[in-house]
């Protein structure tokens, strides 16, 4: 995979799921024009954000003790639930790995 195909932010489906899990204030971007245009959150001041999205940096800020790493299999994220390390599946980009970890932590009541 070349760098041009790595995601820079959560896709619309991931963003909708995260909006159910995370505080909207943790999002640093938002979708505009039916998901076509993404702008930085600080550029948005005039109206309510209905479709927030998260950059990799914003997602990593959510994780208390998360680590992101890349192996020959792809990107993965690791965190801990009650002193037990859990690791996401491997993905072609880091956004998907961290997204999965946040969902796993939420499902286990650790977020």
pLDDT digits over 67-90, tens only?
999 999 999 999 987 788 899 999
Residue 41: predicted pLDDT: 57
Of residues 40 and 7, more confidence is placed in 7
Residue 48: predicted pLDDT: 60
Q: By C-alpha distance, which of 74, 100, 72, 106 is closest to 87?
A: 100
Average pLDDT of the chain to the nearest whole number? 83
Give the C-alpha distances (Å, rounded to integers) separating 100 from 36, 80, 109: 23, 14, 14
29-32 and 37-40 as β-strands: parallel, antiparallel, unpaired?
A: antiparallel
Q: Does the model's pTM come out above 0.85?
A: no
Q: By C-alpha distance, which of 52, 57, 95 is closest to 75?
A: 95
Q: By C-alpha distance, which of 77, 83, 86 is closest to 107?
A: 86
Ordered alpha helix ranges (H), 1-111: 12-21, 56-62, 94-107
Q: What is the mean pLDDT of residues 22-39?
A: 73
| φ, ψ dihedrals at 26, nearest 5° | -80, -15
* Residue pair 81/95 in contact by the 8 Å Cβ criterion: no
Confidence of residue 108 (pLDDT cuts 50, 70, 90): confident
Confidence of residue 1 (pLDDT cuts 50, 70, 90): very low
């Amino acid at each position: 995979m070349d760098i041009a195909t790595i995601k820079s932010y959560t896709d619309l489906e991931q963003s909708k799921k995260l909006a159910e899990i995370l505080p909207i204030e943790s999002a640093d971007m938002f979708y505009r024009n039916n998901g076509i245009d993404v702008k930085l959150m600080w550029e948005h001041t005039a109206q309510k954000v209905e479709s927030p999205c998260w950059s990799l940096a914003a997602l990593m800020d959510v994780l208390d003790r998360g680590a992101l790493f890349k192996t020959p299999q792809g990107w993965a994220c690791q965190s801990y639930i009650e002193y037990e390390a859990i690791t996401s599946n491997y993905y072609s980009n880091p956004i998907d790995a961290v997204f999965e970890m946040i969902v796993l932590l939420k499902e286990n009541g650790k977020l």
